[in-house]
Amino acid sequence: MTLAKGTSVITENIFENRFKHVGELSRMGARITTEGRTAIVQGVNKLHGARVEAKDLRGGAALMIAGLAAENITTLCGVHHIDRGYEYIDKKLLNLGARIRRIEV
């Protein structure tokens, strides 16, 4: 939705802290505002690589996809959240042609 034309609206009715990744996407150039349980996404022409941190499983997956779509390099910290729900996701994305590298610290 960050790269789609126009405006998208998402309403979360189950998990109240679902939008923890919005600030990280904004650092990449996304235009997202939240109002309670609703996020309003204004599409932009491009995202920019940045150092971002996954704070949960689904938000981390969103940041990973945004990083793949962004121009320049994105460094994603907190990947242990993603690993909990997506086994070998980096290897699977590599097999699809993604330029991704895991760095153990």
Q: Would you say 52 and 76 are in contact if contact means Cβ atoms under 8 Å apart?
A: yes
103 lies in a domain? no
The DSSP call for residue 81 is H
Residue-wise pLDDT tens digits, 72-101: 999 999 999 999 999 999 999 999 999 999
61 three-state secondary structure = helix
Domain of residue 42, CATH code: 3.65.10.10
Residue-wise pLDDT tens digits, 6-56: 999 999 999 878 899 999 999 999 999 999 999 999 999 999 999 999 999
Q: Side chain identity at 16, as an amino acid letter?
A: E
Residue 77: give the domain boundaries: 7-95
Q: How many domains does the chain have?
A: 1
72 three-state secondary structure = coil
102 lies in a domain? no
100 three-state secondary structure = coil
Cα separation, 72 vs 15, in Å, equals: 32
Q: What is the pLDDT of residue 37?
A: 93
